[in-house]
């Protein structure tokens, strides 16, 4: 490993509900090194998605410290956080989060809309080819299988050459064969230095990762 790309220290998160606060994360410490793949496991409701949202600069409502690519992300404006996400982070979600009216290449190039200049559709096409979707560039999500949709999501996550890809149950909606294809793709990407933090219930994903962190009642074990 050549360096640390993500670090969290003492992260605390609670949800404000009628009648009081419900603690979700109780002082989480976590680090991720360059090219490392880490599984994040835990029961439903343990706080995995909440933690990923904080680490991904999507949720600013927490206590503690998060550093991504050498940048402490606390107390930044929404615009600054968007820029940081675009430079350092990629996201792969269980539900894909593709825009139904857009083609695969348009979905892949979406991060380019938040950068200076215009989206680079040639880059998007190259990334789709990299994930095995040659010839599917103009297909909309309704015309793609679950595995193909997830491949588009992976390609989109790589559009800005992120240092870290955060994955929330990336194989949760896929059959075993397609899940293995996604993991094979992750293996290739990690060899290029991309780091992954993968929230999962899938044993095959856990076996693929360098190490596993277990989130129990808001505490990593």
Q: Give the model confidence (pLDDT) of 90-128 as tens digits.
A: 999 888 999 999 999 999 999 888 776 789 999 999 999
Mean of pLDDT over the chain: 90
Q: Quote the CA–CA distance of 108 and 150 in Å, as a whole number.
A: 11
DSSP 94: T
Write down the pTM of the prediction: 0.90
- The most confident of 15-19, 143-147, 179-183, by mean pLDDT: 143-147
Q: Quote the CA–CA distance of 220 and 42 in Å, as a whole number.
A: 9
Sequential DSSP letters for 123-156? HHHHHHHHTT-TT-TT--GGGS-HHHHHHHHHHH
Q: Where are the alpha helices (DSSP H) in the chain?
A: 48-55, 78-88, 104-108, 121-130, 146-157, 176-191, 203-208
Note the pLDDT tens digit of each residue in 166-217. Answer: 999 888 888 888 888 888 888 888 888 899 999 998 888 888 899 999 999 8
Give the CA-trace dihedral at 87, 93, 95, 99, to 10 degrees.
10
**Position 21 confidence tier, pLDDT thresholds 50, 70, 90:** confident
Q: Is 182 helix (H, G, I), strand (E, B) or coil?
A: helix
The answer to whether residue 153 scores a pLDDT higher than 50 is yes
CB 34 within 8 A of CB 24: no
Q: Quote the CA–CA distance of 96 and 100 in Å, as a whole number.
A: 11
Note the pLDDT tens digit of each residue in 46-94. Answer: 899 999 999 999 999 999 999 998 889 888 888 888 888 888 999 998 8
In sequence order, the β-bridge partners of residue 196 are: 37, 165
Q: Where are the domains of the chain?
A: 4-97+157-220
CATH topology of domain 4-97+157-220: Rossmann fold (3.40.50)
């Amino acid at each position: 490993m050549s360096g640390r790309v993500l670090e969290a220290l003492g992260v605390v998160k609670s949800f404000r509900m009628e009648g009081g606060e419900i603690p979700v994360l109780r002082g989480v410490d976590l680090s991720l090194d360059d090219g490392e793949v880490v599984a994040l496991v835990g029961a439903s409701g343990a706080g995995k998605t909440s933690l990923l949202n904080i680490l991904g600069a999507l949720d600013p409502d927490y206590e503690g410290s998060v550093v991504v690519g050498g940048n402490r992300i606390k107390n930044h404006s929404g615009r600054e956080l968007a820029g940081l996400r675009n430079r350092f982070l990629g996201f792969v979600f269980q539900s894909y989060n593709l825009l139904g009216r857009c083609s695969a290449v348009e979905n892949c190039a979406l991060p380019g809309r938040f950068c200076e200049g215009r989206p680079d559709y040639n880059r998007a096409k190259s990334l789709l080819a990299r994930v095995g979707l040659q010839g599917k560039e103009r297909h909309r999500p309704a015309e793609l299988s679950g595995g193909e949709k997830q491949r588009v999501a992976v390609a989109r996550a790589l559009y800005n050459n992120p240092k870290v890809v955060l994955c929330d149950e990336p194989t949760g909606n896929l059959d075993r064969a397609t899940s293995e294809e996604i993991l094979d793709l992750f293996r290739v990407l990690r060899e290029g230095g991309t780091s992954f933090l993968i929230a999962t219930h899938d044993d095959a994903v856990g076996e693929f990762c360098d190490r596993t962190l277990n989130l129990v009642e808001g505490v990593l074990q």
